[in-house]
């Protein structure tokens, strides 16, 4: 099966002259199951529809390439929000874009979903348009926009689209396609789960059991009401018990139907069996290819969803907290296809998902009652009802290791360490260390202050320390040199300068020299972004400290890399500001030396360091 057409010539060569659906996307066309456009297009193809793709359109002629579709345009910004793709957490322009040919930045517009949809309206009038993907999914209600520093209305209204699909869209899109094919108007599709639509307030018929959020006008003015609305939206995001949510905006009402049930194992297997080319479109070869394929080309996705639900992560609000998994047979068949690729070198880079070591629901009640609305499964402490079991995942990894041509099977990220360390059976932990760690294992403690971790929705640092200790004990027992590489975040809501200093001391004690750290990035739709904007915890409405000024954010970031010469002065200013003169000097516990009056001293010989790895020595 060839790539789906991105030119009119390719369309006619496949034997059709008019597409049923045209997908307009902010990414280059990569036909791989890690890319939303690839999945939706192949699902539609499997259902019997002709699909064409317009990747990264610029001119009117690009949009008019295939003419008007029989049924609808489908619009997404790509695999990530277009504003995140373009700007850093400091709102500086990025110099590259991994989802664009040659990695060049600037091929998609800011707010791509809005721009593309309005252009389609201009060129095609009242053509049916449905929007989806991460950008649409996370902006489905009135939301704080970090780049504008204001609350914007639902992207459904901003874009003038007819329908919004949130979450993973395989079930949504087939139902939409079939009903449009059968003659229904897109404006009549008001009962499809996992979708949002807008109606004039004068035409709205009250829906039994629906929950109402404060209106766009109210949440724009009241931070308390914004926080309450966020809590409602997250609590109702459950396919079992979630209710319809409405939100007024001017003379319109945005209606969100309850979430679409997640895919069953059989349904996931069918999706991943579709004839993906597993590569970027060959037309990009002359431009250097599409860099994003490198991370996923030899990797396997075995699950979806995450009941960990960290507050700063968009996954729980997009994919949901329920876990869907593929069968072993499905994963093995995909792995066999990978081993037949001409550039496969024997290494499966990752067997993961949002959280690699989840292969089942957190507890027995979730299938009937849904996930708890007001508490987390794993943080700040693990719920007693959580079932910890790695046996199914372990058996899958063992099967993959036995495949011909496979030398190593790695798990490079996505391990939930608190879930792992809670398993009384250490078999998986031992095999993870022995067979599935490629020298470094990335994990996400994020911080060391329990107060900050509480606002992140993460477990206490003592849990990470137990995991870390056992990891190095197991590593030493097999006589290997392997390291933990922790993901760390600065300036998250709740984090003070003193918390950042505590984290820098934690790094020093553990001989960690992180090469990269992440400033908190207030992306649309997350609980942490609500805290950033409102200064309130949406679940308790208690005040949360938020580092806001560029000066303080720069200080918190620099403290995490206190050892870098270019950060010395800003670290000094932060320590002096907090009165932590005990940490200035050359003593064992000091972070930086204030040597402005020591110019006559001989420079010390630079210590040899290994960057971006954990350098803690295991004890006897």
User: Could you report the per-residue pLDDT of 167-183, keeping only the tens digit for each?
Assistant: 999 999 999 999 999 99
144 three-state secondary structure: strand
* Burial of 427: CB neighbours in 10 Å, binned 0-12, 13-18, 19+: exposed
- Cis before residue 360, ω within 30 degrees of 0? no
Backbone angles phi, psi at 249, to 5 degrees: -150, 100
Task: State yes or no: pLDDT of 164 exceeds 90.
Answer: yes
CA-CA-CA-CA torsion sign (196, 200, 205, 209): positive
Over residues 412-432, the mean pLDDT reads: 95
> How many other C-beta atoms can be found within 10 angstroms of the C-beta atom of residue 422?
16
Question: Is residue 83 within 8 Å of residue 141, measured between CB atoms?
Answer: no
514 three-state secondary structure: coil
Which residues on adjacent β-strands are paired with residue 21?
A: 51, 72
Which residues on adjacent β-strands are paired with residue 24?
A: 54, 75
Percentage above 70 pLDDT, the chain = 96
The architecture in CATH of the region 8-197 reads 3-Layer(aba) Sandwich (3.40)
* Burial of 281: CB neighbours in 10 Å, binned 0-12, 13-18, 19+: buried
Nearest of 296, 163, 223, 293 to residue 534 by alpha carbon:
223
State residue 27's pLDDT score: 98
Which residues on adjacent β-strands are paired with residue 146?
A: none
541 three-state secondary structure: coil
Which residues on adjacent β-strands are paired with residue 438?
A: none
Cβ-based neighbours of 594, under 8 Å, separated by 6 or more: 572, 584, 585
pLDDT tier at 596, thresholds 50, 70, 90: low
Task: State yes or no: pLDDT of 602 exceeds 60.
Answer: no
State residue 563's pLDDT score: 95
Percentage above 90 pLDDT, the chain = 92
pLDDT tier at 193, thresholds 50, 70, 90: very high
Over residues 307-323, the mean pLDDT reads: 93
Task: State yes or no: pLDDT of 615 exceeds 50.
Answer: no
CA distance 65 to 101: 20
CA-CA-CA-CA torsion sign (207, 209, 210, 212): positive
Between 607 and 30, the more confident residue is: 30
State residue 617's pLDDT score: 35
Q: What is the DSSP letter of 164?
A: E
Nearest of 11, 6, 1, 2 to residue 283 by alpha carbon:
6
Between 478 and 414, the more confident residue is: 478
First to last CA, the chain: 58
State residue 412's pLDDT score: 86
Quick: pLDDT tens for 211-226: 999 999 999 999 999 9
Which residues on adjacent β-strands are paired with residue 33?
A: none
* Contacts within 8 Å (CB) and 24+ apart, 366-373: 366/240, 366/322, 367/240, 368/240, 369/240, 369/241, 370/238, 370/239, 370/240, 370/241, 370/242, 371/238, 371/240, 371/307, 371/321, 371/322, 373/235, 373/236, 373/238, 373/241
State residue 515's pLDDT score: 82
The mean pLDDT of the chain is: 94
Over residues 445-463, the mean pLDDT reads: 96
167 three-state secondary structure: coil
Backbone angles phi, psi at 451, to 5 degrees: -65, -45
What CA–CA distances, in Å, run from 55 to 95, 125, 364, 379? 20, 21, 43, 40
R_g over Cα of the chain? 25
Question: Is residue 567 within 8 Å of residue 561, measured between CB atoms?
Answer: yes
* Burial of 435: CB neighbours in 10 Å, binned 0-12, 13-18, 19+: middle
Over residues 233-247, the mean pLDDT reads: 96
Q: Which residues in 480-513 are b (16+ Cβ under 10 Å) and which e?
A: eebbbbbebbbbbbbbbbebbbbbbbbbbeeebb
- In the chain, CATH 3.40.50.280 sits at 8-197
Task: State yes or no: pLDDT of 102 exceeds 70.
Answer: yes
State residue 516's pLDDT score: 80
State residue 517's pLDDT score: 86
* Strand 51-55, strand 72-76: pairing: unpaired
CA distance 138 to 80: 11
- Which stretches of 139-244 are DSSP H helices? 155-159, 170-181, 216-221, 223-235
pTM, two decimal places: 0.93
Task: State yes or no: pLDDT of 603 exceeds 60.
Answer: no
CA distance 528 to 525: 9
State residue 619's pLDDT score: 36
Helix 328-339 to helix 391-401 angle, to the nearest 10 degrees? 30
């Amino acid at each position: 099966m060839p790539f789906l057409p991105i030119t009119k010539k390719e369309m006619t060569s496949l034997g059709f002259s008019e597409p049923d659906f045209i997908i307009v996307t902010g990414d280059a066309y990569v036909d791989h199951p890690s890319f939303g456009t690839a999945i939706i297009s192949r699902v539609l193809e499997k259902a019997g529809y002709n699909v064409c793709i317009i990747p990264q359109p610029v001119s009117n002629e690009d949009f008019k390439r295939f003419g008007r579709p029989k049924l609808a345009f489908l619009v997404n910004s790509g695999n990530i929000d277009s504003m995140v793709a373009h700007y850093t957490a400091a709102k500086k322009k990025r110099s590259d874009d991994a989802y664009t040919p040659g990695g060049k930045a600037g091929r998609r517009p800011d707010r791509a979903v809005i721009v593309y949809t309005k252009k389609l309206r201009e060129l095609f009038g009242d053509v049916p348009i449905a929007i989806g993907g991460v950008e649409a999914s996370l902006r489905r209600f009135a939301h704080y926009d970090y780049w504008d520093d204001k609350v914007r209305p639902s992207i459904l209204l901003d874009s003038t689209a007819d329908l919004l699909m949130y979450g993973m869209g395989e079930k949504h899109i087939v139902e939409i396609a079939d009903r449009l094919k059968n003659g229904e108007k897109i404006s009549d599709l008001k009962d499809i789960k996992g979708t949002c639509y807008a109606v004039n307030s004068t035409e709205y018929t009250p829906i039994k059991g629906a929950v109402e959020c404060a209106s766009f006008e109210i949440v724009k003015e009241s931070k308390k009401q914004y926080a309450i609305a966020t809590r409602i939206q997250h609590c109702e995001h459950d396919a079992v018990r979630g209710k319809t949510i409405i939100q007024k905006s001017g003379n319109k009402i945005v209606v969100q139907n309850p979430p679409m049930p997640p895919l069953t194992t059989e349904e996931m297997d069918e999706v991943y069996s579709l004839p993906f080319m597993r590569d970027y479109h060959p037309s990009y070869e002359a431009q250097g290819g599409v860099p994003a394929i490198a991370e996923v080309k030899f990797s396997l996705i075995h699950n979806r969803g995450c009941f960990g639900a960290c507050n700063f992560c968009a996954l729980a609000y997009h994919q949901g907290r329920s876990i869907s998994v593929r069968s072993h047979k499905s994963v093995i068949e995909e792995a066999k296809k990978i081993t037949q690729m001409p550039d496969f070198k024997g290494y499966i880079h990752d067997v993961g998902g949002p959280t690699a070591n989840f292969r089942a629901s957190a507890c027995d009640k979730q299938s009937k009652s849904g996930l708890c609305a007001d508490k987390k499964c794993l943080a700040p402490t693990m719920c007693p009802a959580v079932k910890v079991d790695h046996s199914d995942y372990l058996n899958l990894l063992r099967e993959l290791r036995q495949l011909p041509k496979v030398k190593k099977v790695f798990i490079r990220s996505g391990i939930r360490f608190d879930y792992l360390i809670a398993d009384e059976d250490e078999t998986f932990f031992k095999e993870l260390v022995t067979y599935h760690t490629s020298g470094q294992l990335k994990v996400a403690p994020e911080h060391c202050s329990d107060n900050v971790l509480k606002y992140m929705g993460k477990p206490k640092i003592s849990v990470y320390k137990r995991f870390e200790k056992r990891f190095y004990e197991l590593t030493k027992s097999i006589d290997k040199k392997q390291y933990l590489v922790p993901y760390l975040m600065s300036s998250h809501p709740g984090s003070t300068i003193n918390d950042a200093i505590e984290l820098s001391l934690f790094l020093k004690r553990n001989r960690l020299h992180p090469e990269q750290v992440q400033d908190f990035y207030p992306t649309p739709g997350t609980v942490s972004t609500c805290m950033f904007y409102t200064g309130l915890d949406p679940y308790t409405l208690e005040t949360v400290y938020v580092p806001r000024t560029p000066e303080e954010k720069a200080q918190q970031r620099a403290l995490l890399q206190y050892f870098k010469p270019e950060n010395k002065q800003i670290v000094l200013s932060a320590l002096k500001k907090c009165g932590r003169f005990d940490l200035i000097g050359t003593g064992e516990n000091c972070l930086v030396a204030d040597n402005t009056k020591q110019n006559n001293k001989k420079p010390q010989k630079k210590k040899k360091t290994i960057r971006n790895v954990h350098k803690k020595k295991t004890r006897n």
